[in-house]
Amino acid sequence: MLRFLTAGESHGKSLTIIVEGVPANLPLTEEYIGRQLARRQVGYGRGGRMQIETDYAEILSGVRHGLTLGSPIGLLIENRDFVTGRGPDDVPWTEEMSIAPSDVPFEPITSLRPGHADTPGIAKYMQADARNILERSSARETAARVATGAVARRFLEEFRVEIHGHVVCIGGVHARPSESIDWSLLEETPYHRENPHGSKVAAVRCADPVAAEQMIAAIDAAREAGDSVGGIVEVVATGAPIGLGSHVQWDRKLTTRLAAAVMGINAVKGVEFGAGFSQSDLRGSQVHDVVKPVGEWERAPDGGWVRPWSRRTNNSGGLEGGMTTGEPVVVRAILKPIATLMKGLETVDLTTGEFVERAHFERSDICVVPAAAVVVEAVVALVLADAMLEKFGGDHIEETRRNWRAYMASAGPRG
């Protein structure tokens, strides 16, 4: 079983993570994790925070000489903001977020932001300062999930499982569906408003260049209006073997586990697999993925030959009965427009209960959809890695590989 816990406040000292269940002898480096963290930081519509931070996860334990030990892996991501402050002339957060009691006076946040965790959080935890809620509900924490997801991704690579994400909608602008996506194009230098060189496609992580252009315009328009925009991301995992997850109990279904992990990402308000919600308009004969009678012969991981099951279509998104079908796993997540608005919505004051014209604003993103694609990739990697370990086990990566090879050689048609 792969499990992890994260800790850390948005403007606190650091984010810390413990990941447990990774088999021994998996090659893992800080540079590898850092590359995934860097991908989360880019994207048109992000706020000033991303210019301050250069996320880097230090590996504290569980790895020796570049190989995992099978023991818990400890990770630490420093918040640069904690010591550098909000900008060149600004004070650092060391006093306001001090662990020890502090004599320095600071303004509590009392004008609650509709759409954020402020209002239910202060009620539930009986707080008089919404900062005590927003520090943890901030999506800064998703950096921790991306770092942890990088460990899972490294593990999955050993089994030829690849995970890619892209943006299919921002602010009502929908990308045209594409048969195949050039994933490397989405990783090119992103275009920035201040420095408009590089790729607009990469800036919004959208494979359709025309839609990418319009998405950037939609983000600009929201910025001008002091508002925010949401959207939809799609993540595709290829190479997952048939039979991960299980139909036998609701909480063992991979659909349950994937949906919970994706819904757990800040601002995600819906999840669908494959043809998803559009299936409500179709007949069964238009939806279900016909099994090809005789699969092409393919090289098995053990060097032999297999005829894997394969499908004419993949409307199920690679999931039937809560198990993988062997086709690509396709997950989509819809993100709401973020809640911290420059123009501020009407609200109430926490202390007086009186009307306030504009809710609290602090440096915020305008659109987080491109970054969210990387976060969804990370949690999909975590769920798939967990399901692989559940199926194939192994305390050493070779043991896992041996079990995977043996299974793959027998997973095609009987006979």
Ligand X SMILES: Cc1cc2nc3c(=O)[nH]c(=O)nc-3n(C[C@H](O)[C@H](O)[C@H](O)COP(=O)(O)O)c2cc1C
For binding to ligand X (CB under 6 A), which residues are involved? Answer: 47, 116-117, 137-139, 142, 265-267, 336, 338-340, 364-365, 368, 371-372, 375
Q: Least distance in Å: CB of 230 to ligand X? A: 10
For ligand X, the closer CB: 121 or 394: 121
Q: Would you say 21 or 43 has its CB closer to ligand X? A: 43
Nearer Cβ to ligand X (244/331): 331
Tokens 């427009």 belong to which residue?
337
Residue 267 falls in which region: left (phi positive, over 0), alpha (psi -120 to 50) or beta: left
Please, are residues 304 and 409 in contact by the beta-carbon 8 Å criterion? yes
Q: Shortest gap between Cβ of 227 and ligand X (angstroms)?
A: 12
Cβ proximity to ligand X: between 167 and 323 the closer is: 167
Report the greatest alpha carbon distance in the chain. Answer: 77
Instruction: Tell the smallest beta-carbon distance from residue 348 to ligand X (Å).
Output: 18
Q: Measure the N-to-C terminal CA separation of the chain; round to a whole number of Å.
A: 33
Q: Where are the alpha helices (DSSP H) in 265-410?
A: 284-287, 369-392, 397-408
Find how far residue 119's CA is from the centre of its chain. Answer: 25
Q: How far is the CB of 224 from ligand X (least distance, A)?
A: 18
> Which residues, in sequence order, are CB contacts of 14 under 8 Å at separation 6+?
8, 76, 77, 78, 79, 82
Q: Which residues pair with 76 in a beta bridge?
A: 16, 58
Closest separation in Å from C-beta 15 to ligand X: 13
In the complex with ligand X, which residue's Cβ is closer, 133 or 323? 133
Q: Least Å distance between CB 3 and ligand X?
A: 22
**Three-state SS at 52:** helix
Q: Under a CB-based contact definition with an 8 Å cutoff, are residues 49 and 81 in contact?
A: yes
Type of residue numbered 314: N
What DSSP character marks residue 77?
E
From the CB of 42, what's the least distance to ligand X, in Å?
11
CB of 334 to ligand X, least distance (A): 11
Question: Residue 268 in contact with residue 337, Cβ under 8 Å?
Answer: no
Closest CB to ligand X among residues 264, 321: 264
List the structure tokens of 14: 């650091």
**Phi, psi for 387 (deg, rounded to 5):** -65, -35
Host H or E run for residue 270: strand 268-273
**Cβ distance to ligand X smaller for residue 193 or 247:** 193
Q: If residue 118 lies in a helix (H) or strand (E), which one and from where to where?
A: helix 118-125
Name which of 139 and 175 has its Cβ closer to ligand X: 139
